[in-house]
């Protein structure tokens, strides 16, 4: 893996702070965070793409807390974070900033190279959140997975954090899979725009299987054989 040392240090410090803070808050029951694994996580160093639904900004620290620190995570995240008042901190994190709405090919290629090199990456295919229900996802996750031959781990997050305290929140890691296992995969046309959209739908339905029906949103009316194994 080729994660720069400064990113590893900042990530280690950040995750250490997050983990210790969460442990403290869990011990006094200020948080009720729960984690489930449908299968063991693959070995560190495997090209991995963690794909999750997006409820609120708290999803990122929740996922960072739930994934063991032996995985040097990278994040595929909106470039607007760099203009946030904490932009100085985001710049030091292992993050690929993506310009939303323009088909950011440079960011996609950077993400592909990172994942291909054995750096696990977290991506929220919806690109944003609204009321907690699934939105129509962008095709970026599928494009990265196709070019990097990554193993995909779907993540389902439930429970909003408004208010922040004394609320239950759960994160479920689904069974890892490859794009070739999805019903709509067709090798000869895998990179066509229609195929990318179909694969993205199947990908999101894998995430939907980890969520209660009221979270399915845009994908509630889709019918497919793409179920959680």
**In the chain, which ranges are E strands?**
32-37, 48-52, 74-78, 95-98, 121-123, 151-158, 168-173
By percentage, how much of the chain surpasses pLDDT 70?
A: 70
Length of the chain: 229
**Most confident region among 79-88, 106-115, 179-188, 215-224 by mean pLDDT:** 106-115
Supply the pLDDT for residue 191.
80
Supply the pLDDT for residue 80.
59
Domain 5-158+165-217 fold is Glycerol-3-phosphate (1)-acyltransferase (3.40.1130)
pLDDT tops 90 at residue 223: no
Supply the pLDDT for residue 12.
52
By percentage, how much of the chain surpasses pLDDT 90?
A: 43
pLDDT tops 70 at residue 215: yes
Supply the pLDDT for residue 228.
47
Supply the pLDDT for residue 16.
56
Mean pLDDT to the nearest integer, 11-27: 57
> From CA 114, how far away is CA 107, in angstroms rounded?
11
pLDDT tops 50 at residue 1: no
**Cα dihedral sign for 211, 129, 125, 153?**
negative
Supply the pLDDT for residue 20.
61
39 and 58 Cβ atoms separated by less than 8 Å = no
Supply the pLDDT for residue 45.
84
184 or 94: which carries more pLDDT confidence? Answer: 184
**Burial degree of 45 (CB within 10 A; 0-12, 13-18, 19+):** middle
**Cα dihedral sign for 70, 41, 65, 99?**
positive
DSSP annotation of 160: -
Supply the pLDDT for residue 4.
55
DSSP annotation of 189: G
Tell me which of 75-84, 92-101, 177-186 is least confident: 75-84
177: Cβ–Cβ under 8 A, 6 or more apart, which residues? Answer: 151, 152, 154, 206, 229
Helix (H, G, I), strand (E, B) or coil at 196: helix
Q: Please give the torsion angle defined by the CA atoms of residues 154, 60, 94 and 173, in that order, rounded to the nearest 10 degrees.
A: -20
216 and 136 Cβ atoms separated by less than 8 Å = no
Supply the pLDDT for residue 18.
58
Annotated domain spans of the chain: 5-158+165-217
In this prediction, residue 210 has a pLDDT band, given cuts at 50, 70 and 90, of very high
pLDDT in tens, 32-61: 678 899 999 998 888 999 999 999 877 887
**Claim: this prediction has a pTM higher than 0.85:** no
pLDDT tops 90 at residue 90: no
């Amino acid at each position: 893996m080729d994660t720069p040392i400064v990113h590893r240090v900042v990530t280690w410090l950040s995750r250490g702070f997050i983990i210790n803070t969460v442990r403290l808050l869990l011990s006094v029951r200020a948080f009720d965070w729960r984690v489930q694994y449908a299968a063991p996580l693959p070995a560190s160093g495997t090209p991995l793409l963690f794909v999750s639904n997006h409820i609120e900004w708290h999803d990122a620290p929740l996922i960072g807390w739930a994934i063991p620190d032996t995985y040097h995570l990278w994040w595929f995240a909106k470039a607007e974070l760099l203009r946030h008042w904490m932009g100085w901190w985001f710049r030091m994190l292992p993050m690929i900033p993506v310009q939303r709405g323009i088909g950011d090919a440079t960011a996609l290629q950077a993400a592909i190279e990172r994942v291909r090199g054995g750096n696990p990456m977290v991506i929220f295919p919806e690109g944003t959140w609204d009321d907690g229900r699934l939105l129509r996802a962008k095709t970026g996750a599928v494009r990265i997975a196709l070019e990097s031959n990554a193993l995909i781990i779907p993540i389902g997050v439930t429970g909003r954090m408004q208010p922040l305290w004394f609320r239950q929140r759960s994160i479920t890691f689904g069974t890892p899979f490859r794009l070739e296992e999805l019903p709509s995969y067709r090798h000869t046309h895998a990179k066509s725009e229609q195929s990318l959209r179909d694969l993205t739908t199947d990908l999101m339905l894998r995430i939907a299987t980890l969520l209660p029906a009221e979270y399915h949103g845009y994908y509630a009316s889709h019918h497919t054989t793409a179920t959680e194994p």
